Amino acid sequence: MKTVICIVCPKGCHLNIDEEHGYEVSGFGCERGIAYGVEEVRRPMRMITSTVRIDNAALPRCPVKLDKPIDKHLIMAAMKELDQVRLTSPVSEGQIVVENVCGSGASFISTRSL
Amino acid sequence: MYDLIVIGAGPAGLAAAITAAKNGLKKILIAERDREAGGILNQCIHNGFGLHYFKEELTGPEYASRFIRMLADLNIELMLNAMVLEITPERHVHVINRDVGYKVLEAKSIVLAMGCRERTRGAIAIPGSRPAGVLTAGAAQRYVNMEGYMVGRRVLVLGSGDIGLIMARRLTLEGAEVLACLEIMPYSSGLMRNVVQCLDDYDIPLLLSHTIVEIRGDKRVEEAVVARVDQNLKPIAGTEMTFTCDTILLSVGLIPENELTDKAGIEIDPRTKGAIVRENMETSCHGIFACGNVVHVHDLVDFVTEESEIAGRGAAEFVLNEKSETADEMTLLCGDGVSYVVPQIVRRERVAKTQTVYFRVNRLFDKSRVVIRSGENEIAAFKRPYMAPGEMEHVKIPKALLDKAEGAIVISVEEDVS
Ligand code: SF4
């Protein structure tokens, strides 16, 4: 039995996941907690948000996010890839900044127009 | 003469102005002291915003831009780099800005949406020297996320407020070593999900019931002495440990920014440190409304938006068909377990179907009941599986039940023993 705190929404339900019995989840406040609990035990995924350098913009940094979560263990490698990027203004919200981050299929996209 | 002047273009001000426009107000001005709208959201590049309101997960800048884009369509005027110096009960707004100089603007209604600011080191009085490297988590957030400066290499976070937790992760991702997050209380003051995602994920220890007792360093922070505290929050001798670090981030709470409110003579609630508000977010001053973190510090922007829409509707209603002042003001009071309630006053005839009441508990509760009483009578009760002071709670009280009450209403929390 593993206990994880659900982070899908701010409620933070304490989930119990029974690995021996088909990953049965208890303690969830809604359906989404079930999927999260199972995945968190079998294959933890995370979103990353960060910034990249940008030239000729009102600010020297442009905020970015992944368009979908990646494996938790890839976080630091993904940050390294982001470190190589330098954008030039104009950049628009939603524009792809790095494609296929660490071969995960996820992309970093800009989260504001600058 | 403006129909409405909104002070602050953060999430609260934006939502209030937009809702007022959608409810029929024509001439609306937002005065913002920064060089762009969006407020604190611009530096909150992490995601988790909008789950409640938009039913999707957005970053701060994305959440802000959804509202900012609506301003032009609704003909809402935005005055940037504008500092409001004073507001008066007659609804005069004194504002200064490089283009217009010093101006006194008149408005039929005002919405106060100035937000909050971080408590600083002075407010918690840490002994020791005063070297560089001690800064608030929010200031560090702006440096790192917007201005592109790294604030330190070996970092201690004092306080477990959400911004502190988020910055612990952010600095780790940017290559710093975050040694620990210290919280003087026996529970985190930030959201549980942030403790999990920002500390646990990166093996950053959260030391509950710990605080910094001394900061050492000549020009820059060199060491911090940390000790455990007892039940009275006093450091326990003999528990000291020394951390070698160059930076200390403070995440020790936020205070509503109410200088303008105070100066206008608007009544302030000592519990929230914000204006006392009615069911439509009107303050003690007729025609002046308040919403968002200037009223009480929220942990989720979604609730700021919701509350600000109420203020925007209130302002529109006030300007378009001012109702006569009514005497029936019912007071909402904090009972056991509750540290504050918002709104503090409800005029029942203005409540449509239900009245949402926001509150915080003052300690941890497992299975419990939120009980609404009028005198001896229990008029409503709501079950909760778990409540913590770090997470704002709310209940929706049906009008029919409110109508049954006589005199003040008391909101308290009881352990559910059933
Ligand atoms: S189980 Fe559902 S309600 Fe509970 S934290 Fe997860 S998403 Fe939120």
What would the pLDDT profile of B160-215 be if each residue is shown by its tens digit? 988 999 999 999 999 999 999 999 998 888 888 889 989 999 999 999 999 999 99
Chain-chain contact of B47 with A65 (C-beta, under 8 angstroms):
yes
Same domain, B212 and B239: yes
pLDDT grade for A1, boundaries at 50, 70 and 90: confident
Question: Which atom of ligand 1 lies closest to the CA of A7?
Answer: 5
Q: Least CA distance to A50: which residue of chain B?
A: B45
Give B329's DSSP letter: -
Same domain, B228 and B135: yes
Other CB atoms within 10 A of residue B73 CB: 9
Same domain, B30 and B102: yes
Last residue of a domain, one of B324, B345, B376: B324
Contact indicator for B251, B158 with CB cutoff of 8 Å: yes
Same domain, B124 and B248: yes
Give B291's DSSP letter: -
A20-40 burial, b at 16+ Cβ within 10 Å, e below that, comes to eeeeebebbbeeebbebbbeb
Q: Which residue, B89, B60, B70, B62, is CA-closest to B30?
A: B70
Same domain, B361 and B320: no
Same domain, B68 and B129: no
Q: Does B23 touch chain A (CB under 8 A)?
A: no
Is A37 near ligand 1, meaning CB less than 6 Å away? no
Q: Does A30 touch chain B (CB under 8 A)?
A: no
The encoded tokens of residue A87 equal 């954008």
pLDDT at B367: 84
Work out the angle at residue B319's Cα, subtended by the Cα atoms of residues B316 and B325, and round it to the nearest 5 degrees.
105
Q: Please tell me the total count of domains within chain B.
A: 3
Distance CA B362, CA A94 (A): 41
User: Measured in angstroms, how far is the CA atom of residue A77 from the centroid of ligand 1?
Assistant: 29
Same domain, B201 and B91: no
Same domain, B59 and B125: no
Residue numbers of the domain that contains B155: 120-252
Same domain, B142 and B50: no
3-class state of residue B43 by DSSP: helix
Q: Residue B85 maps to which CATH number?
A: 3.50.50.60
Same domain, B319 and B385: no
Q: Does B48 touch chain A (CB under 8 A)?
A: yes
The secondary structure of B96-123 as a DSSP string is EETTTEEEEEEEEEEEE---EEE--HHH
Contact indicator for B191, B216 with CB cutoff of 8 Å: no
Same domain, B51 and B99: yes
pLDDT at B3: 97
The answer on pLDDT for A10 being more than 70 is no
The encoded tokens of residue B280 equal 């439509």
- For chain B, residues with pLDDT lower than 70 are 121-124, 323-327, 418
Distance CA B239, CA B228 (A): 6
Of all protein residues, the one whose alpha carbon is nearest to atom 1 of ligand 1 is A33
The answer on pLDDT for A95 being more than 90 is yes
Work out the angle at residue A108's Cα, subtended by the Cα atoms of residues A105 and A110, and round it to the nearest 5 degrees.
150
Is A112 near ligand 1, meaning CB less than 6 Å away? no
Chain-chain contact of B201 with A72 (C-beta, under 8 angstroms):
yes
ipTM of the complex: 0.88
Same domain, B7 and B99: yes
Last residue of a domain, one of B302, B324, B346: B324
Q: Does B367 touch chain A (CB under 8 A)?
A: no
Other CB atoms within 10 A of residue A7 CB: 23
The answer on pLDDT for A97 being more than 70 is yes
Distance CA B165, CA B199 (A): 7
Locus of tokens 């023993």: B417
Last residue of a domain, one of B252, B268, B294: B252
Q: Strands (DSSP E) along B1-151, which ranges?
A: 2-7, 28-31, 47-49, 58-59, 77-79, 83-87, 92-97, 101-112, 116-118, 134-136
Is A108 near ligand 1, meaning CB less than 6 Å away? no
Give Cα B220 distance to the centre of its chain.
Answer: 31
What are A110's strand-pairing partners?
A64
